[in-house]
Structure formats: structure tokens, C-alpha cells
Amino acid sequence: MPLAELTHGLRFAIGMLSAVPVRVDRVDREVAGPAMAAAPAVGLGLGAVAGLALLLPGPPLLGAALALGLLAALTRGLHLDGLADLADGLGSGRPAKDALDIMKKSDIGPFGVMTLVITLLVQAAALTGAGYPALVTACVAGRLALTWACRAGVPAARSGGLGAMVAGTVSDPAAWLATAAALAVTAGLGLAAGTWAPPIALAAGLGTALLLLRHARRRLGGVTGDVFGALVETGTTAALVVCAILP
């Protein structure tokens, strides 16, 4: 793949998945594939920065709350918004078309509120006892779920929007290469911390997110931007829980 496309793809990934100011020169399906394959690398950077709040003096719960707040700021709350919208859509029990219409609304319904509250409580509780390597691992796991959700053969639920732009743009070899790189990074984090929890948590986070992806495809017919956001938060939460449980 040409270096120019890789560069454009990385810029696209940073601009789409974070609030970091970066010049994005191209937004099309040719660079969407490299962008989504690079999503775990963006997660690595986000986790590394947000995790600095955990190093501040004070109660561990305060550090966890500040780290999660910083992470939300670094991503403009985009993934949390997607999680809430998907919860409202799926929780409605409506057919796919009606559920998608609910997800497009700007307000948040009761299912979305409950899901956000529970998710953030679980994340904060898990992160309180898990620490810096866990947050970095969780951020990588959540974004690795995006790579797999954009594999060839995964359709978009709508003809327009972010889902249609990136759906099916990542080849299987690219997805496996991103996974191998993520495993290597998290294994390194684990070795530095004296635990094998990070790579296990990465696998658990990805697996949990893929279960949600399967359910969303069955209910909605494909992926949307909201589905992507929900996958990120699901993978992140599952990885944090595993890191908190394992020694």
C-alpha cells in the first residue's frame, strides 16, 4: 500500500477517533481501510495520555474518574454517545428501520441513560483497582473492535453516514496484523507490570465487542457510527473488568 495512503489513513483515524487537531486531506473509502486498521494505535495514544491522571496523588477512585473524564474529553464523548444511542435503539424492541430512526434522534432515552450510568460505574470501579496498564490496554481493545467491525463482508445498516463510509474496508490480513500488533503491545505492558492480564484482557474485550457486533448486525442489518461507538465502550469496559479481576 502506498505510503501516502497510510499517512492519509492515520490522519483520518486520529481526526475521526479523537479531538486531537490534525489536518485531514482525504475522507474516502480508499483511506478508510488504513484508518480503521490504525484505530488500535490511536487507542494506544489516547490511553497513554488519559492514564496520566491515574498517577496524580489522591484516592484511586478520584484518579480513575479523572482518567475516564479526560478520555471522554479526548474523544469528544463520541463513543459514549454511540453507546447510548444503540442502547435506545435496541432497547426499544422495534424493527430495524424504526430502531435506526430512534438512534438518529439527538435526545437520550431511558435505555441510553441506564447504559451510560452502569458502564461508567463499572469502568470507574474496575480502573480503581487495575491501574495505568489496564487503561491503555482497554483503549487499545476498544479500538481494535473497530478494525474487526470494518472487515470486508460486514455491511452498513444505512446507505449513508460513517457506517457506509468505512464498512467493509479492512481486509482480513490487515485485521489480523493489527491484532498481532495489539497483542504484542499489551504483552509488553504486562511484562513491564509483572502480569499477563493485559493480553488476556485485550482478547476478552475484543471478544465481548464482537458479540455485540453480531447482535447489532442481526437486529439492524449492519453497522452504523453509533454501533462503532458502542463497540469501543463495550470492548473498553470488558478489558478493564478482566484487568481488575486478574492478578
Domain membership flag for residue 19:
no
Domain membership flag for residue 25:
no
Structural domain boundaries enclosing 160: 39-245
Domain membership flag for residue 201:
yes
Structurally, the chain folds into a number of domains equal to 1
- At 73, the amino acid letter reads A
Percent of the chain predicted with pLDDT > 70: 98
Q: Which residues of 174-201 are buried (b: 16+ CB within 10 A; e: fewer)?
A: bbeebbebbbebbeebbeebebebbbbb
| Mean pLDDT confidence for 161-167 | 85
How far CA 50 is from CA of 31, 60, 93, 133, 245, in Å, comes to 27, 14, 36, 11, 21
pLDDT at 1 over 60: no
| Mean pLDDT confidence for 50-72 | 95
Q: What is the pLDDT of residues 78-119, one digit of tens each?
A: 999 999 999 999 998 899 999 999 998 888 999 999 999 999
Domain membership flag for residue 17:
no
Which candidate, 15, 9, 14, 16, places its Cα nearest to that of 32?
Answer: 9
